[in-house]
Amino acid sequence: MKIALVGATGLVGSVMRKVLEERGFCNCEFIPAASERSVGKEVSFAGRSCKVVSVADAIAARPDFAIFSAGSSASLLYAPQFAEVGTTVIDNSSAWRGYEHIPLVVPEINIDAVSPADRIIANPNCSTIQMVLALAPLHWKYKIHRLVISTYQSVTGTGMKAVTQLNAERAGQPCEKVYPYVIDLNVLPHGGSFEANGYTSEEMKLVNETRKILSDNKIMITATVVRVPVFGGHSEAVNVEFENEYDLAEVRRLLEEMPGIIVQDTPEANLYPMPRFAKDRDEVFVGRLRRDESQPKTLNMWIVADNLRKGAATNAIQIMQKLIEKRGL
Task: Return the amino acid letter for 182.
Answer: V
Task: Look at residue 5 and give its three-state secondary structure.
Answer: strand
Task: Look at residue 155 and give its three-state secondary structure.
Answer: helix
Helix (H) or strand (E) segment spanning residue 302? strand 298-305
Annotation marks residue 50 as catalytic:
no
Helix (H) or strand (E) segment spanning residue 240? strand 234-242
Q: 137-163 as b/e, with b when 16 or more CB fall inside 10 Å?
A: bbbeebebbebbbebbbbbbbbeeebb
Task: Return the amino acid letter for 54.
Answer: S
Annotation marks residue 234 as catalytic:
yes
Catalytic residue among 126, 145, 175, 190: 126
In this structure, how many other beta carbons lie within 10 angstroms of the beta carbon of residue 23? 14
Least Cα distance to 68 among 29, 23, 27, 35 occurs for 35
CA-based torsion, 294, 222, 290, 231: positive or negative:
negative
Helix (H) or strand (E) segment spanning residue 304? strand 298-305
- Scanning 143-260, the segments in alpha helix (DSSP H) are 160-171, 201-213, 248-257
What are the φ/ψ torsions at residue 233 (nearest 5 degrees)?
160, -175
135: Cα separation from own chain's centroid: 15
Distance CA 308, CA 15 (A): 7
Give the catalytic positions in this structure: 126, 234
